Structures are given as structure tokens and as C-alpha cells.
Amino acid sequence: MALKEVGIIVNGATGRIGSTQHLANALGPIRAEGGLDVGGDRVMPRLLLVTRNAQKLADIAKTYDAEWTTDLDAALARPEFPIFFDAAATSQRVSALSKAIAAGKHLYSEKPVAPTVLQGRELLQAAQARGLKAGAVEDKVNLPGLRKLAKLADDGFFGRITGFKLEFGWWVFDGGERPSQRSSWNYTKAGGGGMTSDMYPHWRYIIEDILGPIRRVVSAVSTATPERVDEQGVPFAVDVDDSATTMLEMESGAIGTIVSSWATRVRRDDLVTLQVDGSAGSAVAGVHRCWAQSAADTPSLRHINPEAESGIDHFAAWRDVESAGPHVNPYRVGWEAFLRHVIAGTPLRSDLSAGIRDVQLVEACYRSAAERKWVDLNDIV
């Protein structure tokens, strides 16, 4: 078995997503295990880390035996690194990916892949014109709980899908009363922030991968916390949404809802839950666990009694769904699929076209909120 090296430029290597998820949970473990098996050969990632903070970058590079530079152009000029991965600031994504395409690099990008569908398609056309492969990070569908839910759907457990609801969020402090758990750029338009633009790319691929195509949406967005305090203690006005509610009509005719908020306190099974209802049964998944209730196990409920509690334990008739297979970190799943796509030409579900579809949902929801009407996803071009 031959050992082949593949060079990967990691842009935004010191950020939380870049360092904790992609390096610590994906590329680092692949290197530590002697590479990835691709067609009988072992492929070893060779890493070139890029960001502006030289000291922090040097420390992380030492951990992963990686090269590093603060000069993105110099990194892109090195032919021994044919893959470019971008996890830097969302506001800089189109510029960074455009430079990588001009340098002849294959692309793997965090979400959103572009601020608009039009810009995403321009990137895709430019990559295709040069014969470059391009993928998008779509990790959440590989969370253990959602994998269990997806397997139930694949097995036909639900019968005819009648509806679904996705709920997400927690309370994010404003930086004044307590330190905020999220960076201030998440709450500014200039930084590429906003609940819809940040989280709805995830909801698109989760919903469509498990339940099929979305036809149209109607959405409302709001700003629950209009003023926040940044990392330097300076107050600033929030000019993006931090809460969003959406109704979706699927091509199948089923209706579902998404409720997402950074201004809600958690009283549900998990920080994110997806419940799917069908003629033959229902299931609800969180990050790690999934619970199902078949039609046969569904209790017969008649009415609300205003005089006394019913005494029914509504959780009792739900079963804990078994694992859908060995757990692999969701970010590692994505990297393994992308590397096999680049090296061996295997199909890639989460290609750049899928990333553009993620942005399509975002744009449709913002247009719906602005125009106060249903918007068809295919009308977003």
C-alpha cells in the first residue's frame, strides 16, 4: 500500500471552527492514524495553516506538525498544496475562494459558500471552467441523532410524511450582563452575521437530505436583542436577525416549521431537535439521541381536561432508537468524502451546488420576510 501526500491549505486555521472541528476532529486524527485509505493507497494530508495571528498560528501548527504562514497569496502560490479549505470570516469568503480558483486549487468551503446564490454560481462556473473540484461543509446531518432519524426515513418507518418541526437555539447573553457566548461579528451585517444566514444553510441540507425537496417558504425574522457589547466592551447596534420562524411546504405536500432563536431558554430534549410525523409513526432526534413512536404505540388521546391533570406520561410510549452505525465525527465524514472525491473521483453529495442550494433557502427566507409572502426556492436565481 503506497503512501501518498496531499497538500491542504487551511485558511482560518485559528478560528473555533477551523481549529477545534476541522483540525482537532478531522484532519488531525486522519494524520495521527497514518492517513486515509483511498483505493488501496494511504493518503496523508500535508497541512499549510493560514491566518493573521502569527503567534497563535505557530502554536497550532506545532500541534499538527504543519507549516504555516500569514500570507494567503504566498500559500496559494505553492503548487504542492492543491486543495484550499476556507473557514475564515464569512465576509471574506468570495474573495478567498476566487483567489484559490485563480491559483488552480480544488475548493472545500465552510458555510455559507457565498452571500448570494448569484455569487455562488459565479464561483461554481469559474471552478468548473478550470476543471476544479469543489465541496461544501455540511456536517450536521451526520450528527448521531440525525443519522438515526435518517435511517428511520430510509427504512420507511414514517409511512407517508405528514409534517415536521425543527427547533433550535438558546439564550446568548448580550455581553453586558454576562460575556456573550458568540463573537460579536455574528450580530452585524458587515461581519456576515444573522440567524438566517448563519443557521439556515444547515437546516436546508438536513431537511432535504432526510425528507426531500423544499418547494416554497414563508418566513418572519426579528431582532430580540437590539444592542450588544463587543469583545472590547463597546456597545453596538445589532443590524441582523437573531430569531427566525419559517413555514415550509415540501414537494411531497407535507408542511413543516423551523423555529430558531438566540433569545430563548432551553426546555426541550436538546439544543436542536427535529421531529418528523408520518402516517405510520413519528420520531424526534436531538444531537445524539433519537426517540420513535409507531402508530401501534400511539396513545388514544381525546381532549384537554381543564379540571385535572390527565396523569398520562407522554414520554412513556417512545422508544430510544439504536445507533445507526459506528460514530464518526461529522467533520471527519465530510473531509473523508471530499478527499476521496478529489483523489479518486467518487461522487460527492455535499458539492458546491449543494452549498449554493443552502444559500438559496437563506435568500428565499429573507425575501419572504421582506415581501411578506410565500417564496418558491426555485425563484431564487
- Predicted local distance difference test score (pLDDT) of residue 233: 97
Q: For residue 302, is pLDDT > 90? A: no
What residues have CB less than 8 Å from 185, skipping those under 6 apart? 89, 91, 191, 192, 193
pLDDT of residue 90: 87
Preceding omega of 112 cis (within 30 degrees of 0): yes
User: Are the C-beta atoms of residues 35 and 44 closer than 8 Å to each other?
Assistant: yes
Long-range contacts of 102-106 (CB under 8 A, 24+ apart): 103/76, 103/77, 104/130, 104/132, 105/9, 105/76, 105/81, 105/132, 106/82, 106/132, 106/133, 106/134, 106/342
Per residue in 161-181, pLDDT (tens digit) is 999 999 999 999 999 989 999
Strand 255-261 with 134-136, pairing: unpaired
CB-based contact 174:229 (threshold 8 Å): yes
> Exposed/middle/buried for 367, CB within 10 Å: 0-12, 13-18, 19+?
middle
**Apex 332 CA angle, 85 and 72, nearest 5:** 15
pLDDT classification of 310: cutoffs 50, 70, 90: confident
Distance CA 107, CA 75 (A): 14
For 35-87, the pLDDT digits (tens) are 999 988 999 999 999 998 899 999 999 999 999 999 999 999 999 999 999 99
Instruction: For cell 471530499, name the residue.
Output: 338
Q: Which amino acid is at 107?
A: L
The mean per-residue pLDDT over the stretch 113-127 comes to 97
Q: Do domains 3-139+329-350 and 141-328+359-375 have the same CATH topology?
A: no
Task: Break the chain into its structural domains and give their ranges.
Answer: 3-139+329-350, 141-328+359-375
C-beta separation of 224 from 195 below 8 A: no
Using an 8 Å Cβ cutoff, are 143 and 168 in contact? no
Q: Helices (H), strands (E): how many in the chain? A: 10, 18
Q: For residue 240, give the DSSP letter.
A: S
- Give backbone dihedrals phi and psi of 126, rounded to 5 degrees, phi first: -65, -40
Q: Which CATH architecture has domain 3-139+329-350?
A: 3-Layer(aba) Sandwich (3.40)
Q: What are the tens digits of pLDDT across the range 85-95? A: 999 988 899 99
pLDDT recorded at residue 349: 96
pTM of the complete model: 0.95
Give the CATH class of 141-328+359-375.
alpha beta
Q: Return the pLDDT at 360.
A: 98
